[in-house]
Amino acid sequence: MEKLIAIAALGQKAYGKWLFLRLLSGIIIVIGLTIVISIMVSAVLVGSLAAAYFALLDYGASPHMAMIGVGVSAVLTIAMLVLLALTCLHHLRRMPTALLKQSPIASQAMDTLDAFTEGLMVD
């Protein structure tokens, strides 16, 4: 019976490591896609600002007024994106504390199980 429990605990630890590696590879993929998407969004924003500038010039605005209009819209866009990034960062800072909150009994049980599996692996 004890060996069956030990095998189940080892299986649970191996599954946990496999799940962690799968989660890690998923995070790497998301980071890569985020970089590519941010480059594409930057190109679209720069192109749209240039198009807005030339459209304002075509509609008869002076170069100074067109530059001020495009500059104000660029600053507002940057401010909006910074606020969005700060909100996401604040959310990420709160997440680990919410995930790590577990009952003391469960925490002690996990510590006991970890010590048991470590002792089992030494033999």
pLDDT tens readout for residues 49-88: 999 999 999 999 999 999 999 999 999 988 998 898 888 7
More confident residue, 1 or 22: 22
- Residue 53 CB contacts under 8 Å (≥ 6 apart), including other chains: 66, 67, 70
**What pLDDT was estimated at residue 47?**
94
Residues recorded for the chain: 123
The per-residue pLDDT for 48 is 93
Query: What's at 70, amino acid-wise?
Result: V
C-alpha–C-alpha distance, residues 21 and 31, integer Å: 15
**Residue pLDDT, tens place only, 5-43:** 666 666 666 666 666 667 777 778 888 888 999 899 899
pLDDT in tens, 78-123: 899 889 888 877 877 776 555 555 555 556 666 676 777 676 666 5
- Please give the pLDDT value at position 30: 82
Q: Is the pTM of this model over 0.95?
A: no
Q: Which two tokens stand for residue 74?
A: 């660029």
61: helix, strand or coil: coil
How would you label 80-111 residue by residue, b for 16+ Cβ within 10 Å and e otherwise? eeeeeeeeeeeeeeeeeeeeeeeeeeeeeeee
